[in-house]
Amino acid sequence: MATVLVGVIREMLEKAPAPRNLFAPFRLGQIFGEPGADVQQRAVLMDALTAFAHVGTAGAILDLPYRWKRTVYRDPLARA
Amino acid sequence: MRLPTLSRRFAAGLDTVTGTVPWTPASVPLEKASVALVTLAGVHLRSQPAFDMRNADGDASFRVIPGTVSPADLTITHDYYDHAAADQDVNVVFPLERLRELAAAGRIGGVAPRHVGAMGHIVDREERRLVAESAPAIARLLGEDGVDYVVLSPG
């Protein structure tokens, strides 16, 4: 079973890294986004899932480039 | 706000974990993978016992959450972060509905039958219980379900 961790406190990821780590620059208690913001939540979740294919180094931390409401999130369900 | 400050202070007081970071290769294509969520945000079924907030060491027990659960049947017990947003929409800490949508669209193979709600902010005696008992039990039950990938999220 492979694992990925999504966190909002970077210091925790640095001190106790999971095999794959995503840092979301979001508020504590809103790791996947805002209430009702389905596209934002799906985008962050999909980022976590695609890390399984892209991360090859144990303990690596990916910094998500999001800026909360100022980012236009790409819906993983939208057709390219 | 008080609660984020508290959690950041908790992070600052953590010891750095030494040793090798474990690694399991991701060998299954995402489109065929069974995916489970494990949250430390204190999510559990309304019908299940609440986490014990009276123990200063936290509560290392965990709750099994069915993959078919309705969000209306979930609640949160966790005094160490502000879960007002998650009380409105549990998907902000436990995005099970989003996972189902990705499965319905064929982006993942499937939603695991069982997911896990636990608590963060665990220290000392409860931390030892988490490592010795709860974490292996969680891994065992997800393994029994044939889960390929797990998305972990603290509060």
Instruction: Round to whole Å and give the CA distance between B111 and B105.
Output: 12
Interface of B with A in 83-122 (CB under 8 A): 83-86, 88-89, 91-93, 95, 98-99, 101-102, 105, 107-108
Average pLDDT on A15-24 reads 95
Range of the structural domain that residue B92 is part of: 29-153
- In this prediction, residue B3 carries a pLDDT of 53
Beta partners for B110? B34
% of chain A beyond a pLDDT of 90: 90
User: Does B64 reside within a domain?
Assistant: yes
User: Does B91 reside within a domain?
Assistant: yes
pLDDT grade for A34, boundaries at 50, 70 and 90: very high
Instruction: Round to whole Å and give the CA distance between B18 and B21.
Output: 8
Low-confidence ranges of chain B (pLDDT < 50): 1-2
User: Does B6 reside within a domain?
Assistant: no
User: Does B95 reside within a domain?
Assistant: yes
Return the sign of the alpha-carbon dihedral for residues B133, B134, B138, B141. positive
Q: Which residues of A touch B150 (CB under 8 A)?
A: 1-4
- In this prediction, residue B2 carries a pLDDT of 46
Instruction: Round to whole Å and give the CA distance between B100 and B144.
Output: 20
Q: Report whether B37 contacts B154 (CB < 8 A).
A: no
B152/A58 CB distance under 8 A: no
User: Does B75 reside within a domain?
Assistant: yes
% of chain A beyond a pLDDT of 70: 99
User: Does B88 reside within a domain?
Assistant: yes
- In this prediction, residue B80 carries a pLDDT of 84
- In this prediction, residue B6 carries a pLDDT of 62
Task: Considering only the beta carbons, identify the residue of B21, B151, B155 that sits closest to A45.
Answer: B151
Q: Maximum Cα–Cα distance for chain B, whole Å?
A: 44
User: Does B13 reside within a domain?
Assistant: no
User: Does B9 reside within a domain?
Assistant: no
A16/B16 CB distance under 8 A: yes
> How many domains does chain B divide into?
1
| Burial tier of A30 (Cβ tally within 10 Å: 0-12, 13-18, 19+) | buried
- In this prediction, residue A70 carries a pLDDT of 86
Establish whether this prediction's ipTM goes over 0.90. Answer: yes
Sole residue written with tokens 């896990």: B116
pTM: 0.93
